[in-house]
Structure 1
Amino acid sequence: MSQATSPASPASGPSSPRVARDFYADLMRASQTSRAGFLAERERWLRGVPVDGREELLFEFEMLLRAVERYLNLTAVVDAKDRPLVTRDFHEELVDVRDAMDRAIRVARHLQDPDSDQKMVFRKYVETQLADDRVRRALIEEELDQETPPESLFVLREDLDALRNLLDHLLQLPTARLNLFQDLGKLALKEIVLNRYFRPFRPLEFRVEYDRLRSVRLLDTLAPMAEESRAVFTTAFLGLFRLLHYLAYVDAEGTPPAPRRVRVLLALVRSETHALATWMHADLSPKAGSKPLQAAALRAARDLAKESERIGREVLAHVDKEPEAPARAAAAFTQLLRAQVVALVEALAPNGGLTDGVFDTLVSPQDAALRLRKDLWVYAQLCRTAEGCLRAEDVPAAERALDALKSFLAYFHDGGYQLLRYADYDAFDRFTALLVELPWPPEGPGIRARLAEDLRRFSQTLESTFHAVSRRTLLQGRGFDRQEAEALRDRFVSTLSR
């Protein structure tokens, strides 16, 4: 593993300060290929959206887009052996798609800033009233350029609204034949895939906004691995948790009958489970490392492929006749995916002490909150120490303190940082960028004074975040283990005495 991504150790000395990197964010951005620039701009936009739960709304929106795109592919919804395609009535499938589009439009409205949305609606109205074709054409081209994420979201919402209205009329026909279903699929696919900022994620393409591993056990298991093996196993876990995230929306409505869009989401789960199984067999197993790990990857791939096929054949095939079928399919997929997460963790860390309830223990939110609280306390302590050395103009001690802080950042990014809430990332990212881009060592009293002030301000951010985590309901009755936190701090500050 490279120095930048390995966990910090007590032996890390001031002679070799390391640049902290977020291994997981780097991995996700690598999956985005040529779209990284657009997605970075969209991430900046999302952080300014004044809506609670904005990242979860964005996840739901992109999940629905991906589901519609996949559902309008014939292989996702029909079995040619069951009935000849040319005689099949696709009316029910169009009802499913219509409900998914309707929900996507409503989610998009929640994400749209009311002021900018009203301006774009007014511009759309003006466009229809203009008599001058040149001006109208200019407005149309300006809108379709999608220069900003809000404009891109508005264009896609308008396109979905038009398709929904079209579906309302098509559903009044006595039957919906194959060519109609295919043509609607072409129209929807074009509008979705050509969108600049909200084109849905591909299989095994991840987003820093909502694809995070929030299991302390899993993060600690992955951190010391060799870089190539760590990358492929991280991808596998991100893929499994993405599918579990989908399934949370299948059961979100509670008792049957389930909304029609649930059938669209289950088709997406089945499709991407198969894609993940294929990737595990072809990519994960050869790069897994030891033979036992290769075998574990092959078993996971086999189980995913075999069981998803069985669920499709035995449960999803009856979704039209049995109101409970969607819930049964969701439960079966959930059990399958959780089992593969646990199996891979146990293969990576045999005798790791997983207790009864296994998956729930592995993803315990209380363990995550306890780890985050401890890491935040240590981070604040190290910042305060470095600030004190800088203000005292003790340059050698300040350099050692800053080395310890930068060493801690590598450890923090492999663990506690992944457990933060999305709204917290911006402040942490800005401070990390400031620290790692600082001329090294920081020379001159002016630079040192500015850095001391930056450390003071970020210490306050760390302390307020620490108190916010401590107030979480799931930590009620769990006192702060100061002795354990001090032991972690001492792993890094021990370099100060050398």
Structure 2
Amino acid sequence: MQSSPTGPARDAYGDLLRDTRGLRREQQAAREAWFARLPSEKKDELLFELEILLKGVACFANPRNHPGPPRRAPIVMQDYHEPLMLVRDGLARVVYLARSLLGDRDRAFVFQRYLETMLPEDTVRTRLLREGLAQSSPDEALFVLRHGITNQMEIADGLLRLPRVPFRLFYAQCVAIQREVSSNGYFNPLTALEFRPEFDRITSRPVLDLIPQAPGEQAHRFVALTFLSLFRMLRYLRLLDAIGRDLTDLRRLAGRAYLVLAVLRSDARALSSYLRKRAGSLLADSFEDALLLVPAHELRSRHDQMLADGHKLISIRGALEAIAASLRLEMRRTFEHELPAPDQNISVDDLKARLAAAARNLRPALQNAILFLARSLGVRLDEGGVFDEKEARKLSSERLRRDVWIFARILHAFALKARYIDATDDRWAGAASFQFVKEFLSYFKAMGYPLLRGSDYPRFNEFMASMSALTDTDLLDPSRLDAAVEESEAFQAFLNDLFEQVSRREELVDVPFDRKGAAQALKLYLGS
């Protein structure tokens, strides 16, 4: 593994796969041995869905993770009967998956349930219950989980007989399930941004080779965390696709899909927040610590390498913050405008179509984020060699073409707005008059920066300097605004040419540009 003057090389990727679950070493070994013994050909898919649905209940307890437009009514005034129904139907799938993984041992569960209800003596029943809570092995832990989730299903069935389910009752039920899961020694996926070697290993060798090239331990960890999280989100989308293909019953489909969506929204928010709030400061602290460790007599000989590492860290920080902004924008657009609310009356075919459309729109955004992060590390990756999807290159090119068109329109609107308003007017001194500049800068961070970095724009430094000049002031300086407008117009012309170049790619030669769809996407982005 490559070492760096900015810090010791550690296997952050391996650490994240191994340690984020918090299992002790002997538990880790026992779980790996148990997983290896499972006979099912699709055991990784079964276990992945089981753990995602368990995590989904905890995430779905938070209404912020529900799709649909924002509600005006306070949560205490809303009826959570339908969300509780979705949780109950998701639990039914958890029980089925646990039974599949237990195999013949599931018969012991059925027999124990029978004894618990038939034994007349409380002491015998209590002893039997205590014995059933043992978790000395993964099989026993899964047995306990199956038992507890079955009990929670029966409670939910009782609550659903009520004419109305207030939020506090819905939340209490979800928290009870969450505590059941959190007490499990081997199947507790409730940590945010946690990974498992059974189904989170990155199979792309070019991506694995990239991770250690980030200079310094903190950068190494940030890059590994971001790659793992983005690949995990792509797997959520594949799970949603599989759910939509397999089911024709609305309740069974919705119960599984909404819990997976809740995990997707929660993980995306957690990653976006962490990168936005922590990337800059932690990378700077890491570089400062490494610089202070350099002996004074080596400063001259190591100056060029330290300077190169510093510039690389700046590039990585910009990429991570852009990915955070893009994730936030994409998730808000998808969840608030494309997906139905849990209580919306919808047919099974309509739900399947909207789930498929959401996955189809999010997939290239996540894939392009992976490619963009690699580009910030100095490497261009081939879509076909990184992603499993057969049409990854086509999807990536279609999204790039659409994003180029959208941001060119945003640049044009910004330049027109800035040219139209008299920069010497007193209104420039007010916060309201500066709002359109702040909005433009937010769009640039989410969409423009990846295009700027990924397209090898020849005036990259000049454009970034003009954007930094706007960011660094609370009052609108006419000279700074004029410089930003000139650079924006130049970048718009470059994007117009890039749009034509992308359209001539082999995978897009026979694919007409959906201008109406792009305009609708632009409207949704601006609304978010």
Deviation of the 1:365 alpha carbon: 8.5
| Counterpart code for 2:356 | A
Listed as ranges, the matches of 1:146-295 within 5 Å are 146-226=135-215, 228=217, 229-254=219-244, 259-260=253-254, 261-285=256-280, 286-287=282-283, 289-295=312-318
Q: How is 1:320-399 mapped onto 2 (pairs within 5 angstroms)?
A: 320=344, 323=350, 324-350=353-379, 352=380, 354-355=381-382, 358=383, 360-363=384-387
CA displacement 1:191-234 (0-9 Å, x = unmatched): 12122211124222211111111112212222444461333211
Post-superposition offset of 1:247: 1.3
Query: Alpha-carbon deviations, 1:55-90, whole Å to 9, x = none?
Result: 221111000000111102233238774223233121
Cα distance change, pair 34–147 in 1 and its aligned pair in 2 (3 A)? closer
Deviations 1:66-124 (A, max 9, x none): 0111102233238774223233121221221122111111111110031x332343344
Q: 1:126/1:72 Cα in 2 relative to 1: closer, same or farther (>3 Å)?
A: same
Q: 1:301 & 1:46 partners in 2: Cα distance?
A: 34
Residue of 326, 331, 338 corresponding to 1:303:
326
1:317 deviates by 5.1
Specify every segment of 5 or more residues in structure 2 that has no aligned partner in the other structure, as ranges: 4-9, 285-311, 391-528
5+ residue gaps, structure 1, are 4-20, 367-498
Q: CA deviation at 1:149?
A: 1.3
Give the corresponding residue for 1:422: none
Matches of 1:145 and 1:364 in 2, distance apart?
A: 40
1:145 Cα offset (Å): 2.8
Q: Distance in 2 between matches of 1:227 and 1:99?
A: 46
Contact 2:202–2:228 (Cα < 8 Å) also in 1: yes
Aligned-pair identity (%) = 33
CA contact (8 A) 1:101 1:164 kept: yes
**Cα distance change of structure 1 residues 129 and 92 upon mapping to structure 2, 3 Å threshold:** closer
Q: Deviations over 1:351-383 (max 9, x none)?
A: x3x45xx3x3422589xxxxxxxxxxxxxxxxx
| Segment of structure 1 superposing worse, 241-250 or 172-181 | 172-181
SS state of the match for residue 112, structure 1? Answer: helix
Structure 2: distance between partners of 1:248 and 1:346: 25
Report the aligned-residue RMSD: 2.9
Q: CA deviation at 1:295?
A: 0.9
Q: Which deviates more, 284-293 or 187-196?
A: 284-293
Distance 1:338 1:80, change over 3 A: closer
Instruction: Tell me the amino acid that sits aligned with residue 75 of structure 1.
Output: R
Alignment of 1:348-497 (within 5 A): 348-350=377-379, 352=380, 354-355=381-382, 358=383, 360-363=384-387
Pairwise CA distance, 1:246: 1.1
Residues 266 and 330 of structure 1 are in contact (CA less than 8 Å); yes or no, is this contact kept in structure 2?
A: no
- Assess, with a 3 A threshold, how the Cα gap between structure 1 residues 85 and 363 changes in structure 2: closer, same or farther: closer
Query: Against the structure 1 CA distance between its residues 231 and 183, is the aligned structure 2 distance closer, same or farther, given a 3 Å change threshold?
Result: closer
- One-letter identity of the residue aligned with 2:338: V
Q: Displacement, 1:327? A: 2.5
- Give secondary structure in 1 for the equivalent of 2:242: coil
2:20 to 31, 34, 50: 31
Contact 1:2 1:227 in 2 (8 A): no
CA-to-aligned-CA distance 1:161-204 (integer Å, 9 cap, x gap): 22223323333332222232122122212212122211124222
1:215-267 Cα offsets, whole Å, 9 max, x none, are 12212222444461333211111111111111112121446886112122112
Contact 1:94–1:181 (8 Å) recurs in 2: yes
On the 8 A contact 1:94/1:167 being kept in 2, the answer is yes
Give the letter aligned to residue 275 of structure 2: M
Q: Say whether residues 1:92 and 2:82 are aligned partners.
A: yes
CA separation of 1:105/1:241 partners in 2, compared to 1, >3 Å: closer, same or farther?
same
* 1:314 equivalenced with 2:345 (yes/no): no
Note the alpha carbon deviations across 1:421-480, whole angstroms, 9 max, x for none. Answer: xxxxxxxxxxxxxxxxxxxxxxxxxxxxxxxxxxxxxxxxxxxxxxxxxxxxxxxxxxxx
Aligned match for 2:92, one of 99, 102, 108 = 102
Change in 2 beyond 3 A, CA 1:27/1:253? closer
For residues 316-356 of structure 1, what are the alpha-carbon distances to aligned partners after superposition, in whole Å with 9 as ceiling and x for unaligned? Answer: 35562562333322223223211211111111124x3x45x
Q: Return the TM-score normalized by structure 2.
A: 0.59
Whether the 8 Å contact between 1:66 and 1:201 is mirrored in structure 2 is yes
Query: Residue deviations 1:373-415, cap 9 Å, x none?
Result: xxxxxxxxxxxxxxxxxxxxxxxxxxxxxxxxxxxxxxxxxxx
Task: Kindly indicate whether structure 1 or structure 2 has the higher relative contact order, using CA contacts under 8 Å at least 6 residues apart.
Answer: 1
User: CA separation in 2, counterparts of 1:349 and 1:308?
Assistant: 27
Partners of 1:46 and 1:179 in 2: CA distance? 38
Shift in alpha-carbon separation, 1:300–1:32, aligned structure 2, 3 A: same
The alignment partner of 2:99 has SS state of helix
- Is the 8 Å Cα contact of residues 65 and 200 (structure 1) preserved in structure 2? yes
**Structure 1: how far apart are the matches of 2:388 and 2:62?**
37
The answer as to whether partners of 2:20 and 2:195 remain within 8 angstroms in 1 is yes
Q: Name the CA shift for 1:35/1:315 in 2 (closer, same or farther; >3 Å).
A: farther
The amino acid across from 1:248 in the alignment is R
Alpha-carbon distance in structure 2 between the residues aligned to 1:233 and 1:123: 48
Q: Which residue number in structure 1 is paired with residue 430 of structure 2? A: none
**Amino acid across the alignment from 2:319:** A
In structure 2, C-alpha distance between the alignment counterparts of 1:60 and 1:209, rounded to whole Å: 12
Q: Is the 8 A contact 1:274 1:305 kept in 2?
A: yes
Distance 1:85 1:204 in 2: 27
Q: Distance in 2 between matches of 1:30 and 1:174?
A: 45
- Length, aligned pairs only: 344
**Counterpart position of 2:409:** none
Tell me, in whole angstroms, the C-alpha distance in 2 between the residues paired with 1:235 and 1:347. 15
TM-score (norm 1): 0.63
